[in-house]
Structure 1
Amino acid sequence: MATEDKELLNSSKAPEPVGLYPHARRVGNLLFLSGVGPRERGMKKIPGVELDENGNILSYDIEAQCHSVFRNVRYILEDSGSSWDKLVDVTVFLTNMKDDFKTYNRIYAEYFKDNQPCRTTVEINCLPTPIGIELKCIATID
């Protein structure tokens, strides 16, 4: 594949990556997003998360995190030249499926009522930062 067919993309609105990776990578007419969480750009505080002095989670609000992570995905899509309606696949990672799935699923349905990409939701033990949800997305791009 020619080099011009691969392009690394970063959003000026989404939170800074926590490692050496781009927000998104375009390959042909597909846009692959790196894992996106609910953090806010330039902020230490995570929406809906209360931490103790050692950085351990005291409490979190999955609803606030869902709204924030969906907003961050939208930022990356739009800054990359794609859009919400061009999402074709979403993998959702939850750290507490038992307590959070019902709320997450309700909010997900609000955001995706007009566009219904394929979806996989899995529970994982933890994420690299103290968050309860992360999305991995694939979209088309013109």
Structure 2
Amino acid sequence: MSEAVRTDSAPAPVGSYPHARRVGNLLFLSGIGPRNPVDDSIAGNEYFADGRVRKYDIEAQARAVFANVRAVLEASGAAWEDLIDVTVYLTDMARDFKAYNRVWGEHFPDPAAAPCRTTLGITALPTPIAIELKCVAAIKE
């Protein structure tokens, strides 16, 4: 049996799915981006008058996505330290990987205690964001 989790503390999913699903002591988070849960704004984005993204700040987006992941973890009864695996999607690996890695290091200063991580370069995400995380946590009973 599994339990779906939704929270107002994280941005609403952009489709018909939960923020997370718990199965036993494992928690699987749906892809989470840096949108603001209150107004759907995107940290670090600047737009042209026609709504296209003019430029973005990957460090601001990375900090926002980590805050959103933390909100879903907490709503699920998990903690930051419970993360065991993170898949990172970047829309511009060449431009953003180094800056993202710095922010990762701020949030996980001890590599031995950090979750496993895979980082992928992709062409686009479903909203005008430059980063999305897919996470798995192990909840302590």
TM-score between both structures, scaled by the size of structure 2: 0.94
Identity %: 57
Task: Summarize the alignment of residues 58-97 of structure 1 with structure 2, pairs less than 5 Å apart.
Answer: 58-97=54-93
Shift, 1:110, TM fit: 1.1
Structure 1: tracts of 5 or more residues without a match: none
Whole-angstrom distance in 2 between the partners of 1:136 and 1:122: 11
Task: Summarize the alignment of residues 1-142 of structure 1 with structure 2, pairs less than 5 Å apart.
Answer: 5-114=1-110, 115-141=113-139, 142=141
TM-score between both structures, scaled by the size of structure 1: 0.93
Whole-angstrom distance in 2 between the partners of 1:26 and 1:61: 32
Residues 90 and 121 in structure 2, CA contact (< 8 A), matched pair in contact too:
yes
Secondary structure of the corresponding residue to residue 12 of structure 2:
coil
Q: Summarize the Cα distance change of 1:90–1:96 in structure 2 as closer, same or farther, 3 Å threshold.
A: same
Deviating above 3 A after TM superposition, structure 1's stretches of 4 or more consecutive aligned residues are none
Aligned length: 138
Q: Which moved more, 1:51-60 or 1:26-35?
A: 51-60
Shift, 1:45, TM fit: 2.0
Structure 2: tracts of 5 or more residues without a match: none
Residues 94 and 132 in structure 1, CA contact (< 8 A), matched pair in contact too:
yes
